[in-house]
Amino acid sequence: MARILTLTLNPALDLTVSLETLRPGAVNRSLGLSSHAAGKGLNVAQVLADLGHKVTVSGFLGTANAAPFELLFDRRGFIDAFVRVPGESRSNIKLAERDGRVTDLNGPGPQVDAAHQAQLLEQVEQIAAGHEAVVVAGSLPPGVELDGFVALLRHLKALGLPLVLDSSGAALRAGLAATPWLIKPNEEELADACGVSPSSPEQLRDAALRLREQGVEHVLLSRGAAGVDWLGPQIALHAQPPSVEVLSTVGAGDSLLAATLHGLLSGWPAERTLRLATAVAAQAVTQLGFGIHDRQQLARLEAAVSVVPA
């Protein structure tokens, strides 16, 4: 299996609160609570580890609450290449309702100064050799400006690693200038990045094709319950997942990305890759936490995924 580097510049402690229905402005009683060391890159890393890959994790980690993250790294067998910074990594509160709707209350993260950003760049350069791909996922912490973020992405590309980018808003718009190898936006993120309507499948497809013409090899468009569209070299596929009982949508996109990367690095045909990735994402919404925990359920879901030309 491959060795993969994931960068989570703004990791988080995720507190997921399960609710029947959220009533804003009223007293709400939870059905349950769970806490996870998380962040998009770390979520991707956990699925990659379950698929058999060796993962190095990096980014910026607050020293004041590093312990839950370090426990995760140890339990998962990750190589820890995080740069420690003063302060606390952010906390995110996720209010997960019974119907699958999730309301996010995301913290900002610790301030990251120029010296620590230079340290990350130097550290990544030292450890990049021997990895087969790099995933940069999630938001930017305070102190990391867009110019510096794009410079980091371009530096990673210059090291010869296929660059996977999964972000949103200004970070995604800026990051596209580095021409990633693969991106995984949802409909709203792609629409925002390309200035099109999120409710128009035609405009979204045209936007994805324009990105491919600009050098992005793979555009993996996550459409929630409506499935996944994948446009790549000689690839134009749509996958429809089976209906499942949704517990939380947190981590579904990260799972989709990880399993797609697994198939690409394993040399699988596109249809096989997308079928597995869609099934892994479908399984993710049935659980709290990240990773592949039930192989028999995954096999049933994979068999029920429909893949057709897009």
Measure the CA–CA gap between 21 and 101, rounded to whole angstroms. Answer: 9
Query: CA 59: distance to chain centroid?
Result: 14
Beta-bridge partner residues of 133 = 4
Closest CA to 81 of 16, 9, 144: 9
Q: How far apart are CA 205 and CA 300, in angstroms?
A: 30
Choosing from 14, 166, 229, 254, the catalytic residue is 254
The secondary structure of 261-296 as a DSSP string is HHHHHTT--HHHHHHHHHHHHHHHTTSSSSS---HH
Measure the CA–CA gap between 216 and 276, rounded to whole angstroms. 22
Q: Identify whether 50 is a catalytic site residue.
A: no
Q: What DSSP character marks residue 121? A: H
Active site residues: 254
